[in-house]
Protein backbone atom coordinates (compact mmCIF):
# COMPACT_ATOMS: atom_id res chain seq x y z
CA UNK A 1 0.00 0.00 0.00
CA UNK A 2 1.55 3.34 -1.01
CA UNK A 3 1.87 6.20 1.44
CA UNK A 4 -1.17 8.17 0.33
CA UNK A 5 -3.33 5.05 0.11
CA UNK A 6 -2.24 4.21 3.65
CA UNK A 7 -3.07 7.75 4.77
CA UNK A 8 -6.51 7.48 3.20
CA UNK A 9 -7.09 4.12 4.89
CA UNK A 10 -6.11 5.48 8.30
CA UNK A 11 -8.17 8.60 7.70
CA UNK A 12 -11.22 6.52 6.79
CA UNK A 13 -11.09 4.69 10.11
CA UNK A 14 -10.42 7.91 11.98
CA UNK A 15 -13.39 9.53 10.24
CA UNK A 16 -15.55 6.68 11.51
CA UNK A 17 -14.30 7.40 15.00
CA UNK A 18 -14.75 11.16 14.70
CA UNK A 19 -18.26 10.68 13.46
CA UNK A 20 -19.15 8.40 16.34
CA UNK A 21 -17.35 10.78 18.68
CA UNK A 22 -18.98 13.98 17.45
CA UNK A 23 -22.11 13.16 15.46
CA UNK A 24 -24.09 12.33 18.55
CA UNK A 25 -25.03 16.01 18.69
CA UNK A 26 -27.45 15.20 15.86
CA UNK A 27 -30.85 13.64 16.44
CA UNK A 28 -30.66 9.90 17.05
CA UNK A 29 -34.08 8.36 16.37
CA UNK A 30 -34.74 4.67 15.87
CA UNK A 31 -32.76 3.47 12.88
CA UNK A 32 -33.50 1.36 9.87
CA UNK A 33 -37.22 2.11 9.63
CA UNK A 34 -40.13 1.28 11.92
CA UNK A 35 -39.48 -2.48 11.94
CA UNK A 36 -35.92 -2.13 13.33
CA UNK A 37 -35.28 -0.46 16.67
CA UNK A 38 -32.06 0.56 18.39
CA UNK A 39 -31.55 0.08 22.11
CA UNK A 40 -33.40 2.83 24.04
CA UNK A 41 -30.79 2.63 26.83
CA UNK A 42 -28.06 3.34 24.29
CA UNK A 43 -30.07 6.26 22.95
CA UNK A 44 -30.46 7.65 26.46
CA UNK A 45 -26.70 7.55 26.97
CA UNK A 46 -26.03 9.12 23.58
CA UNK A 47 -28.48 11.88 24.47
CA UNK A 48 -26.42 12.58 27.59
CA UNK A 49 -23.27 12.75 25.47
CA UNK A 50 -25.14 14.99 23.04
CA UNK A 51 -26.08 17.45 25.77
CA UNK A 52 -22.40 18.02 26.55
CA UNK A 53 -21.37 18.42 22.92
CA UNK A 54 -24.05 20.90 21.92
CA UNK A 55 -22.20 23.68 23.71
CA UNK A 56 -18.80 23.00 22.14
CA UNK A 57 -17.72 25.45 19.45
CA UNK A 58 -14.48 23.58 18.79
CA UNK A 59 -12.65 20.49 19.96
CA UNK A 60 -8.97 19.66 20.28
CA UNK A 61 -7.90 16.16 21.29
CA UNK A 62 -4.87 13.90 21.48
CA UNK A 63 -5.27 10.23 20.66
CA UNK A 64 -3.41 6.95 20.36
CA UNK A 65 -4.11 4.66 17.42
CA UNK A 66 -3.43 0.96 18.06
CA UNK A 67 -3.50 -1.44 15.11
CA UNK A 68 -4.04 -5.16 15.76
CA UNK A 69 -3.87 -7.93 13.18
CA UNK A 70 -6.25 -10.86 12.79
CA UNK A 71 -4.26 -12.84 15.39
CA UNK A 72 -4.79 -10.14 18.00
CA UNK A 73 -1.15 -9.03 17.92
CA UNK A 74 -0.33 -5.32 17.94
CA UNK A 75 1.13 -4.31 14.57
CA UNK A 76 1.84 -0.76 15.62
CA UNK A 77 0.88 2.31 17.56
CA UNK A 78 0.66 5.93 16.50
CA UNK A 79 -0.07 9.03 18.55
CA UNK A 80 -1.73 12.03 16.96
CA UNK A 81 -3.93 15.05 17.43
CA UNK A 82 -7.20 16.18 15.91
CA UNK A 83 -8.85 19.60 15.92
CA UNK A 84 -12.35 20.36 14.65
CA UNK A 85 -14.39 23.51 14.28
CA UNK A 86 -17.62 23.40 12.31
CA UNK A 87 -16.80 21.78 8.96
CA UNK A 88 -13.08 22.40 9.44
CA UNK A 89 -10.67 19.79 10.76
CA UNK A 90 -6.99 18.96 11.05
CA UNK A 91 -5.56 15.51 11.71
CA UNK A 92 -1.88 15.08 12.60
CA UNK A 93 -0.07 11.74 12.76
CA UNK A 94 3.69 11.08 12.64
CA UNK A 95 4.83 12.09 9.15
CA UNK A 96 1.26 12.77 7.99
CA UNK A 97 -1.15 15.68 8.18
CA UNK A 98 -4.60 16.33 6.74
CA UNK A 99 -6.08 19.82 6.67
CA UNK A 100 -9.61 20.84 5.69
CA UNK A 101 -11.04 24.36 5.71
CA UNK A 102 -14.50 23.16 4.67
CA UNK A 103 -13.81 23.83 0.99
CA UNK A 104 -10.47 22.14 0.30
CA UNK A 105 -8.43 19.30 1.78
CA UNK A 106 -4.64 19.08 1.90
CA UNK A 107 -3.02 15.66 2.49
CA UNK A 108 0.65 16.08 3.38
CA UNK A 109 3.28 13.32 3.45
CA UNK A 110 6.51 14.28 5.19
CA UNK A 111 8.65 11.46 3.76
CA UNK A 112 8.11 12.65 0.19
CA UNK A 113 7.51 16.30 1.15
CA UNK A 114 4.40 16.23 -1.03
CA UNK A 115 0.93 17.64 -0.51
CA UNK A 116 -2.16 16.70 -2.50
CA UNK A 117 -5.01 19.20 -2.69
CA UNK A 118 -8.60 18.14 -3.31
CA UNK A 119 -11.85 20.07 -3.50
CA UNK A 120 -14.47 19.13 -0.93
CA UNK A 121 -17.54 17.82 -2.73
CA UNK A 122 -20.52 18.01 -0.35
CA UNK A 123 -22.57 15.81 -2.70
CA UNK A 124 -20.00 13.01 -2.78
CA UNK A 125 -20.29 9.87 -0.68
CA UNK A 126 -16.73 10.08 0.63
CA UNK A 127 -16.18 9.38 4.31
CA UNK A 128 -15.33 12.74 5.81
CA UNK A 129 -16.22 14.31 9.15
CA UNK A 130 -18.51 16.92 7.62
CA UNK A 131 -20.61 14.41 5.66
CA UNK A 132 -20.77 11.94 8.52
CA UNK A 133 -21.74 14.59 11.03
CA UNK A 134 -25.06 15.00 9.22
CA UNK A 135 -26.09 11.40 8.65
CA UNK A 136 -23.94 9.01 10.65
CA UNK A 137 -26.29 7.98 13.44
CA UNK A 138 -29.75 8.45 12.07
CA UNK A 139 -29.22 6.61 8.78
CA UNK A 140 -26.26 4.28 8.87
CA UNK A 141 -26.19 2.34 12.14
CA UNK A 142 -28.05 0.36 14.74
CA UNK A 143 -26.72 0.63 18.28
CA UNK A 144 -27.07 -1.13 21.61
CA UNK A 145 -25.69 -0.75 25.11
CA UNK A 146 -23.52 -3.73 26.12
CA UNK A 147 -22.62 -2.83 29.71
CA UNK A 148 -19.79 -1.37 31.78
CA UNK A 149 -16.10 -2.12 31.15
CA UNK A 150 -12.79 -0.64 32.35
CA UNK A 151 -10.95 1.67 29.93
CA UNK A 152 -7.52 2.84 31.10
CA UNK A 153 -8.47 1.97 34.65
CA UNK A 154 -11.70 3.96 34.59
CA UNK A 155 -15.31 2.85 34.26
CA UNK A 156 -16.86 3.22 30.80
CA UNK A 157 -20.09 2.13 29.14
CA UNK A 158 -19.79 0.20 25.90
CA UNK A 159 -22.06 0.96 22.93
CA UNK A 160 -21.99 -1.39 19.94
CA UNK A 161 -22.67 0.05 16.49
CA UNK A 162 -23.60 -2.19 13.56
CA UNK A 163 -23.69 -0.73 10.04
CA UNK A 164 -26.88 -1.18 8.05
CA UNK A 165 -24.78 -1.26 4.88
CA UNK A 166 -23.18 -4.69 4.89
CA UNK A 167 -20.80 -3.77 2.06
CA UNK A 168 -18.75 -1.54 4.38
CA UNK A 169 -15.19 -2.79 5.09
CA UNK A 170 -15.98 -3.02 8.82
CA UNK A 171 -18.77 -4.91 10.56
CA UNK A 172 -18.75 -3.41 14.05
CA UNK A 173 -17.68 -0.33 16.00
CA UNK A 174 -17.45 -0.24 19.80
CA UNK A 175 -17.76 3.17 21.43
CA UNK A 176 -16.77 3.67 25.07
CA UNK A 177 -18.38 6.48 27.08
CA UNK A 178 -16.97 7.60 30.44
CA UNK A 179 -19.50 7.02 33.22
CA UNK A 180 -18.11 10.09 35.02
CA UNK A 181 -17.83 12.70 32.25
CA UNK A 182 -20.23 11.32 29.62
CA UNK A 183 -17.57 11.93 26.98
CA UNK A 184 -16.46 9.28 24.50
CA UNK A 185 -13.00 8.06 25.56
CA UNK A 186 -12.23 5.24 23.11
CA UNK A 187 -13.51 3.61 19.93
CA UNK A 188 -12.63 0.27 18.33
CA UNK A 189 -13.28 -0.49 14.66
CA UNK A 190 -13.53 -4.15 13.55
CA UNK A 191 -12.50 -4.61 9.93
CA UNK A 192 -13.77 -7.58 7.94
CA UNK A 193 -10.18 -8.58 7.14
CA UNK A 194 -9.56 -9.14 10.86
CA UNK A 195 -7.69 -5.91 11.53
CA UNK A 196 -8.79 -3.87 14.54
CA UNK A 197 -8.21 -0.13 14.91
CA UNK A 198 -8.51 1.28 18.44
CA UNK A 199 -8.49 5.04 19.01
CA UNK A 200 -8.09 6.10 22.62
CA UNK A 201 -8.33 9.73 23.68
CA UNK A 202 -5.39 10.89 25.78
CA UNK A 203 -6.56 14.47 26.08
CA UNK A 204 -9.71 16.39 25.25
CA UNK A 205 -10.14 20.17 25.25
CA UNK A 206 -13.47 21.72 24.19
CA UNK A 207 -13.59 25.38 23.13
CA UNK A 208 -9.81 25.59 23.11
CA UNK A 209 -8.50 29.10 22.34
CA UNK A 210 -5.62 27.34 20.59
CA UNK A 211 -7.96 26.22 17.78
CA UNK A 212 -7.82 28.95 15.13
CA UNK A 213 -9.23 29.12 11.61
CA UNK A 214 -5.77 29.36 10.05
CA UNK A 215 -4.87 25.97 11.55
CA UNK A 216 -7.14 24.26 9.02
CA UNK A 217 -5.34 25.62 5.94
CA UNK A 218 -2.05 24.21 4.62
CA UNK A 219 0.56 26.97 4.79
CA UNK A 220 3.06 26.22 2.02
CA UNK A 221 5.61 28.65 3.50
CA UNK A 222 6.03 26.35 6.50
CA UNK A 223 7.03 23.41 4.26
CA UNK A 224 10.09 24.52 2.21
CA UNK A 225 10.42 22.77 -1.13
CA UNK A 226 7.09 20.97 -0.86
CA UNK A 227 5.82 19.38 -4.05
CA UNK A 228 2.22 20.48 -4.60
CA UNK A 229 -0.15 18.17 -6.51
CA UNK A 230 -3.35 20.11 -7.14
CA UNK A 231 -6.21 17.77 -8.01
CA UNK A 232 -8.97 20.42 -7.93
Whether the predicted pLDDT of 165 surpasses 70: yes
Going by C-beta distance under 8 Å and a sequence separation of 6 or more, which residues neighbour residue 193?
70, 169
Question: Which CATH architecture best describes the domain 3-224?
Answer: Clam (2.50)
Q: Which class for 74: exposed (0-12), middle (13-18), buried (19 or more C-beta within 10 A)?
A: exposed
Distances (CA, A) of 205 to 41, 46, 81: 27, 19, 11
Whether the predicted pLDDT of 5 surpasses 60: no
Separation of alpha carbons 52 and 178, rounded Å: 12
Crossing angle of helices 3-22 and 129-140, in 10° steps, is: 60
Alpha helices in 104-204 (DSSP H): 129-140
**133: helix, strand or coil:** helix
The chain-wide mean pLDDT, for the chain, equals 77
Prediction pTM value: 0.73
By C-alpha distance, which of 4, 197, 216 is closest to 91?
Answer: 216
pLDDT per position as a tens digit, 41-83 = 887 887 777 677 667 788 888 888 898 998 889 988 989 898 8
pLDDT per position as a tens digit, 21-51 = 444 333 333 334 434 567 888 878 877 776 7
Separation of alpha carbons 108 and 9, rounded Å: 14
- Look at 162 and 194; give whichever has higher pLDDT: 194
231 with 117: CB under 8 angstroms?
Answer: yes
Q: Which H or E run contains 212? A: none
Amino acid sequence: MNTFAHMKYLFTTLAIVLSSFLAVHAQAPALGGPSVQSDPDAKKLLDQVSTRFKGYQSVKAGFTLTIENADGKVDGKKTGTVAMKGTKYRISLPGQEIFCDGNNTWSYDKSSNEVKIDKVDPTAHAITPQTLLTNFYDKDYLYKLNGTVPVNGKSAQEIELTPNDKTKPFFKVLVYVSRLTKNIVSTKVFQKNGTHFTYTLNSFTPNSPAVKDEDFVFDQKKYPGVDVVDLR
